[in-house]
Structure 1
Amino acid sequence: METLISVILPVFLLIGFGYTAAWRGFFSASNVDGLMRYASNFAVPVLLFRAISEIDLGSEFDLTMMASFYAGAFICFSAGMLGARFLFGRDWEDATAIGFICLFSNSVLLGLAVTERAFGTDALAGNYALISIHAPFCYGLGITVMEVMRARHGPKRTIVPTVLKAMFSNALIIGIGLGFAVNITGIHVPDALSSVVDLMAASALPAALFGVGGVLFRYRPEGDMRIILFCCGISLILHPAITWTLGTLGGLSVDSFRSAVLTSTMAPGINVYLFASIYGRAQRIAASTVLIATAVSILSIWLWLFLIP
């Protein structure tokens, strides 16, 4: 119970404040949109830029940790897509969007916040290593499969340009890419600019979590409840179970194991709704899954924390 109160509840209470503010009309829809635009297009990319630019690439990029998490993510994407197609009879485009819902953990807004509360700031190095390729991996996989499905009866030459354009116009990927550039080249960031980066990075998680609460207020548990529960089960149970198993077999260190497993326990993030909206596919399922899985994850994360050493 102490873990629930001290680690998990503060994160979800902040989301709840945002939800309540939107519900009671103290924070309008345009306010929520503006805050989320600031968080997702500026503050969070800057946070990732700072983290990636300072991380020790040699020691923190544990290949076993990355493989444990991303093998689980790929299996969950495949399970979600194939389940949607063959269990629920969705067409391939809908099935791909549903696979993306099962793929994309909320590694930044919830993963960083919960890990920091549970194990301290020093435990975040593994999280940042995972996050550094999270958006490129997930969007790369989702967009590629979706464009292949859309083009299977048309010209194939548009697939690669479409994927590259979508990837390199994403603010998260730009922030991560610039962080890698600074890290690898050793470019010195001027002190004044570094101070600005620190200020924006400090605002990223509180602003984003509050904004997520406002966004979740718009969502309603609509659509096929069986598919929604199917997606929740894959995200909250299957992904951490696979990551746990592979991490144990791979002999991960305690810190790497914590980062990989705890990140994999996170509910799907807002990005799954954005992906569904881009293609106009499975939007109600995406929205409802984010809402329900986020609420259920309060308890599921607590249970996984009891098991993590």
Structure 2
Amino acid sequence: MTALLNVVLPVFALIALGYLCRRVNVLGPAAVTEINRFVVWLAQPALLFGITANAHWSSYRLDFTLAMAGALVGTFVLVLALTWRRMGAGDAVVDAQSAAYANNGFLGIPLGLLVFGDWSLPFSGVSVILTACVLYALGLIGLEMARAHGHGLGKALLKAGGAVVRNPMMIAPAVGAVFSTLGLKPPEGVTTLLGLLAGAAIPCALVALGLFLAENAKAGFGDWSWASLTAAKLIVQPVIAWLIAGPILHAPLQVVQMAVLMAMMPTGAGPFMLAQVYDRRGAVASQTILMTTVLSIISISVYLTMIR
């Protein structure tokens, strides 16, 4: 439990620092937007490039990859289907991202190492790629199509496709994958620059989340959508991962356990970044991130007790 708290504590601390900086007016009302732009356009692309450029594709297991992809996309599609008609496409996409986007980078990697050692690194790595690249791309496409609604399906698809290929968070991992496949390495100075930018990605995203929570503190938790999204993230997604990895694919026990652990991670900052860029459901996204992080301390502790 103490080890888990040590992993999760920095998340709360960064959110709290952002909240405090806004409440005492160290950072102004424009800070959340500007910091989020820095993350989306510079820091996160550098992080994603580094992950894919250093990936060893031969070490990935197909059963784990299918289980994680199924859990992420399955949760996204399920929530999208349940909320689409009630709130409209754009808002439903952000909610679906909030229910599906796992914090596999900041929390998943250290927790995987804590439980399974170095064996876990390729698995947590593919989890990050599936979440931050594939799932994020689905959200981006959905939001662009919602924005182009009424202009015809062809134009909407063209606009969504254009947004994906121009987005730095899609370009960077694709370029990184090319580097990895061809065995290329950037010059040392470029590698250092990218490392510095990548190191700022998650802290800045969490500080921006704290700023947003402070800016909207008076609104409180009036919209209780976060409760159902939290249940989908912490309960439904791990169950889907277990069903695919275990009963369906009959993966080895340790692979099943790792898939479930990665699916149990709380919501990451990705949905909040999308919500800010497209000005949709930012309050619900931020509340879901906060509540899943708090409650995951309990759910992950129970799970680790069960598998040990």
Using the size of structure 1 for normalisation, the TM-score is 0.80
For the residues of structure 2 that align with 1:59 and 1:224, how far apart are their CA atoms?
43
1:103 aligns with 2:108: no
Residue in 2 that maps onto 1:242: 240
Tell me the alpha carbon deviations over residues 47-93 of structure 1, each in whole angstroms, 9 at most, x when there is no partner. 22222112211112x2211211121222212321233257xx43455
For the residues of structure 1 that align with 2:230 and 2:140, how far apart are their CA atoms?
22
For the residues of structure 1 that align with 2:259 and 2:146, how far apart are their CA atoms?
31
Offset of residue 183 of structure 1: 0.7
User: How has the CA–CA distance of structure 1 residues 35 and 239 changed in structure 2, closer, same or farther, with 3 Å as cutoff?
Assistant: same
Offset of residue 126 of structure 1: 1.7
Aligned with residue 195 of structure 1, among 192, 197, 203: 192
**Are the counterparts in 2 of residues 265 and 304 from structure 1 also a CA contact under 8 Å?**
no
**Are the counterparts in 2 of residues 68 and 246 from structure 1 also a CA contact under 8 Å?**
yes
User: How has the CA–CA distance of structure 1 residues 268 and 8 changed in structure 2, closer, same or farther, with 3 Å as cutoff?
Assistant: closer
User: How has the CA–CA distance of structure 1 residues 259 and 22 changed in structure 2, closer, same or farther, with 3 Å as cutoff?
Assistant: farther
For the residues of structure 1 that align with 2:13 and 2:282, how far apart are their CA atoms?
26
**Are the counterparts in 2 of residues 240 and 265 from structure 1 also a CA contact under 8 Å?**
yes
User: How has the CA–CA distance of structure 1 residues 113 and 212 changed in structure 2, closer, same or farther, with 3 Å as cutoff?
Assistant: farther
Residue in 2 that maps onto 1:6: 6
Match runs of 1:72-83 below 5 Å: 72-83=71-82
1:54 aligns with 2:51: no
For the residues of structure 2 that align with 1:42 and 1:113, how far apart are their CA atoms?
24
Match runs of 1:38-187 below 5 Å: 38-60=38-60, 62-85=61-84, 89-112=86-109, 114-115=111-112, 123-145=120-142, 154-187=151-184
Residue in 2 that maps onto 1:291: 290
User: How has the CA–CA distance of structure 1 residues 92 and 5 changed in structure 2, closer, same or farther, with 3 Å as cutoff?
Assistant: closer
For the residues of structure 1 that align with 2:199 and 2:89, how far apart are their CA atoms?
41
Question: Counterpart of 1:185 in structure 2: which amino acid?
Answer: L
**Are the counterparts in 1 of residues 141 and 164 from structure 2 also a CA contact under 8 Å?**
no
**Are the counterparts in 1 of residues 145 and 159 from structure 2 also a CA contact under 8 Å?**
no
For the residues of structure 1 that align with 2:33 and 2:147, how far apart are their CA atoms?
30
For the residues of structure 1 that align with 2:142 and 2:27, how far apart are their CA atoms?
37
For the residues of structure 1 that align with 2:278 and 2:44, how far apart are their CA atoms?
24
User: How has the CA–CA distance of structure 1 residues 139 and 205 changed in structure 2, closer, same or farther, with 3 Å as cutoff?
Assistant: closer
Tell me the alpha carbon deviations over residues 72-117 of structure 1, each in whole angstroms, 9 at most, x when there is no partner. 222212321233257xx43455434433332322333443454456
Helix, strand or coil for the counterpart of 1:133?
A: helix
Residue in 1 that maps onto 2:18: 18
Question: Counterpart of 1:155 in structure 2: which amino acid?
Answer: G
Aligned length: 305
For the residues of structure 1 that align with 2:103 and 2:215, how far apart are their CA atoms?
18
Residue ranges of structure 2 left out of the alignment (5+ in a row): none
Offset of residue 231 of structure 1: 0.9
Residue in 2 that maps onto 1:300: 299
Question: Counterpart of 1:45 in structure 2: which amino acid?
Answer: P
The alignment's C-alpha RMSD in Å is: 3.3
Helix, strand or coil for the counterpart of 1:267?
A: coil
**Are the counterparts in 1 of residues 75 and 237 from structure 2 also a CA contact under 8 Å?**
yes
For the residues of structure 2 that align with 1:256 and 1:213, how far apart are their CA atoms?
35
Greater shift, 39-48 or 142-151, is seen at 142-151
Helix, strand or coil for the counterpart of 1:157?
A: helix
Tell me the alpha carbon deviations over residues 213-235 of structure 1, each in whole angstroms, 9 at most, x when there is no partner. 3344334444431x321111001
For the residues of structure 1 that align with 2:256 and 2:125, how far apart are their CA atoms?
14
1:214 aligns with 2:211: yes
For the residues of structure 2 that align with 1:38 and 1:107, how far apart are their CA atoms?
21
Residue ranges of structure 1 left out of the alignment (5+ in a row): none
For the residues of structure 1 that align with 2:226 and 2:182, how far apart are their CA atoms?
45
Using the size of structure 2 for normalisation, the TM-score is 0.81
For the residues of structure 1 that align with 2:16 and 2:119, how far apart are their CA atoms?
27
Tell me the alpha carbon deviations over residues 258-309 of structure 1, each in whole angstroms, 9 at most, x when there is no partner. 5533332233333323434555544443343233333333333333333455
Greater shift, 228-237 or 149-158, is seen at 149-158
Question: Counterpart of 1:288 in structure 2: which amino acid?
Answer: Q
User: How has the CA–CA distance of structure 1 residues 279 and 36 changed in structure 2, closer, same or farther, with 3 Å as cutoff?
Assistant: closer
Helix, strand or coil for the counterpart of 1:158?
A: helix
Greater shift, 37-46 or 177-186, is seen at 37-46
